[in-house]
Amino acid sequence: MKILVCISNVPDTTSKINFTDGDTKFDTNGVQFVINPNDEFGLTRAMWFKEKQGAAVHVATVGNNTVEPTIRKALAIGADEGIRIDAAPTDGFYVARQLAEIVKNGGYDLVIAGRESIDYNGGMVPGIMATLLDMNFVNTCIGLEIEGNQATAHREIDGGKETISTTLPLIIGGQKGLVEESDLRIPNMRGIMMARKKALNVVAPVDAPSQTTDQKFERPPAKGPVKLVDAGNIQELIDLLHNEAKVI
Amino acid sequence: MAVVVYTESENGKLKKSALEVASYAKNVADQLGLSVTAVAINVEDPASLGTYGVAKVLGVSDQALQGFNAKAYANVIAQAAEQENAKVVIISSSADSKYLSGILAAKLNAGYVPNVVAPPETTSPFVVKRTAFSNKGFAHTEITAQVKIIGVSNNSFGLVENPTDAAVEAFSPAVNDGDFGAKSVEVDKVVGKATIADADIVVSGGRGLKGPENWGMIEELAGILGAATACSKPVSDLGWRPHGEHVGQTGKPVATNLYIAIGISGAIQHLAGVSASKTKVVINNDPEAPFFKAADYGVVGDAFEVVPELIEKLKEFKGQNG
């Protein structure tokens, strides 16, 4: 089995978000970048397929050379080969077109992406890829088993979960649940050393349009101070929620 | 030409989010001088969409579409959009709508913007405001593609009545076996209980509750309020509560009218995930907990004293106010 894990290079979840250039760009100053958490759960599941079922695991991302440390981290965790599509990831449609080209040329059986990146939250890349490539697709995937050509996937739905039966080739939009938080791996020294010798292929993008452009960003408005209610007077909280906030 | 809206249903009944996206679609249609056409799959009373400004309903009745299937449903919506020559398609932010969004965008070669929180600011150029960076910011995004898909954020627009006589037309799109390459074999869903996605109120517990055995009062409080229950990331990582209840940046987003956080300190990732909620209440024994800076109302106190008291007072309140 040949697996491609699509990873996005995103600000660490603890990052404070600021904008620059007249609020037209995300301010990367002082921000640490990591593998998108939804993708990292998928990468870790891919490692399981590699170790238990002998899968080959490649990782791909769209970006300039500043994303290479994130690809190297994925290689240090255990991916066999990295691919960087040398282009700015302008929007979800553009990124999906680039990754679809890699999937088409690489003959992958399973493509693991995240349900969304935690920066631009587009959530469309795996679905667009699946449609362009006519592959089966399961989103918000929280469990995946593969037996030969058959796949059983679990999907989170509003208020529960669903079991889906499908076949390879398959694309999933993964999230926490594919593996547990405690299964995530921190690269060890040996992994880091080995990662340096692994192939990281840089490929040119294909010609594709962007369908959307972010023109301006803003931060959420500052919040007013909290109204404190005395723990001995809970009735006041109910009155406030009923009369002032009008939510009960 | 019309604005097409996909109005979701469950067991034949329109969901609240369907009425919200219909209301939103009416706003967009008015801006463009167009009318609204809804796509309703196996809905019992599609004409009721007229209340929210829908002029025409393409009613699909097809046994093959009885359960949700992303590819098949996306195909139906795409065919409706093509028939109506729609340049704008509106969907919700439910798990199902997000599942089909990418498929639909690819089929229509459309520009798709999810998590939209307001009507288009301008329609030429076509610019919408959406959340980005997991609610830590907003983006004003121009959709440059000819066909535009807008995913409306839950509870961001509300229900707006615009009584219209909705003409219901039978619509029989092509449904292919090839659409069912990913087949649902089992749905495991809590029935008769509010879900985080649909609930008006969410009651959420954190590590301050000390252990899963203490969730009884969270469940009871949620029961009285008709609320969904949720939890913080550490709680789901510890296995105290199922992953499906984890709300925050890497869990589910919450955009509800009232969010009550009990024993949750308010890590930046958690606050990002729940910030779209309109009113936030925090109950925590640590006055320095960061959540107090993000909340509207706060109680500094021991959850094991405050919550039972709140339950008692709410029972009285409900008794008086129905």
What domains does chain B contain, in order, with CATH numbers?
2-180 (3.40.50.620), 201-321 (3.40.50.1220)
Record: contact B114-A234, CB cut-off 8 A: no
Between A115, A118, A180, which is nearest B249 by CB? Answer: A118
B-chain residues within 8 Å CB-CB of A36? none
Chain B positions in Cβ-Cβ contact with residue A209 (cut-off 8 Å) = 145
Is A127 in contact with A137 (CB distance < 8 Å)?
A: yes
Is B138–A217 a contact, with Cβ atoms under 8 angstroms apart? yes
Q: Tell me the pLDDT tens digit for each residue of A68-119.
A: 999 999 999 999 999 999 999 999 999 999 999 999 999 999 999 999 999 9
Given the structure tokens 């690809």, which residue do they identify?
A71
Q: Do A220 and B145 touch (CB under 8 A)?
A: no
Domain CATH for A170: 3.40.50.620
Inter-chain touch B300–A231, beta carbons under 8 Å: yes
Describe chain B by its helix, strand, coil percentages, rounded to 5: 35, 30, 35
Per mean pLDDT, which range of A9-13, A222-226, B122-126, B183-187 is the poorest?
A222-226
Q: Which of A182, A214, A229 sits opposite B299 (nearest CB)?
A: A229
Assigned token pair, B241:
């509560």
Give me the residue from B127, B269, B292 closest to A215, CB to CB: B127
In a domain, A21, yes or no: yes
Domain for residue A15, yes or no? yes
Encode pLDDT of B88-131 as tens digits.
Answer: 999 999 999 999 999 999 999 999 999 999 999 999 999 999 99
Nearest chain B residue to A157, by CA: B95
Pick the closest to residue A94 from A134, A66, A38, A132 (CA basis).
Answer: A132
- Give the closest-approach CA distance of A199 to chain B in angstroms: 30
Q: Per this entry, what is the length of chain B?
A: 322
Residue A193 lies in a domain: yes
pLDDT digits (tens, 9 = 90+) for B125-164: 999 999 999 999 999 999 999 999 999 999 999 999 999 9
Q: Locate A136 and state its tokens.
A: 């089966």
- Name residue A79's beta-bridge partners: none
Number of domains in chain A: 1
* Alpha-carbon span A209 to A206, nearest angstrom: 10
Report CB contact under 8 Å: A238, B314.
Answer: yes
- Mutation choice for A interface testing from B99, B247, B268 by most A CBs within 10 A: B99
Range of the domain at A146: 2-222
Structure confidence at residue B81 (pLDDT): 98
CB B215 within 8 A of CB B235: no
Supply the DSSP symbol for B242. -
- Residue closest to B113 by CA, chosen among B156, B72, B76, B49: B156
Distance CA A177, CA B246 (A): 11
* End-to-end alpha carbon distance in chain A: 54
Residues in chain B within 8 Å Cβ distance of A162: 184, 186-188
CA proximity to B248, closest of A33, A180, A14: A14
What is the spatial distance between Cα B25 and Cα B6, in angstroms, rounded to a whole number? 10
The partner residue sitting opposite B141, judged by closest CB among A166, A213, A227, is A213
Distance CA B12, CA A74 (A): 45
User: What proportion of chain B, given as a percentage, has pLDDT over 90?
Assistant: 96
What is the model's pLDDT at position B194?
Answer: 86
Q: How far is B59 from chain A (nearest CA, A)?
A: 24
Contact residues, chain A, for B250 at CB < 8 Å: 13, 37-38, 118, 175-176
Residue B102 and residue A125: Cβ atoms within 8 Å?
yes
Which candidate from B96, B190, B298 shows the least CB-CB separation from A226?
B298
Instruction: Mark yes or no for CB contact B105/A213 under 8 Å.
Output: no
CA quadruple B228, B229, B231, B235: dihedral, nearest 10: -150
- pLDDT tens-digit readout, A136-181: 999 999 999 999 999 999 999 999 999 999 999 999 999 999 999 9
Q: How far is A132 from chain B (nearest CA, A)?
A: 7
DSSP-assigned letters across all residues of A58-91: EEEEES-GGGHHHHHHHHHHT-SEEEEE-S---S
Specify the DSSP element, H or E, that contains A9.
strand A9-11
| Cβ pair B292:A226 closer than 8 A | yes
Classify the phi-psi angles of B226: left when phi > 0, otherwise alpha if psi is within -120 to 50, otherwise beta: left
Q: How far apart are CA B199 and CA B128, in angstroms?
A: 25
Task: Count A/B contacts: CB-CB distance under 8 Å.
Answer: 275
Q: pLDDT tens, B286-316?
A: 999 999 999 999 999 999 999 999 999 999 9
